[in-house]
Amino acid sequence: MKFMLVVIITMGGPVIGEEKKTFELRIPQENQQECLKSAKTFKFSLPVISIDTRCEPRRDNEDPSMQST
């Protein structure tokens, strides 16, 4: 089964006086192990940017995407 690495990026906030903006990236991965390994590469923290990752089973005909939420 293929997996999707879901990366949620939130920028802004009261620290810089801006409203928060959230983006979601969905990146295809071959398997869960590869997905979990890739998720670790996105683990870092900055005062105005937060990043959260998770691995989900890929839905039928799901394509990579980026969207603002």
As a whole number of Å, the CA-based R_g of the chain is: 13
Tokens 């928060």, located at residue? 20
What does the domain layout of the chain look like in residue ranges?
Answer: 3-59
Distance CA 14, CA 16 (A): 5
Interval 25-68: pLDDT, tens? 999 999 999 999 999 988 877 778 889 999 999 888 888 888 88
Q: What's the predicted TM-score (pTM) here?
A: 0.80
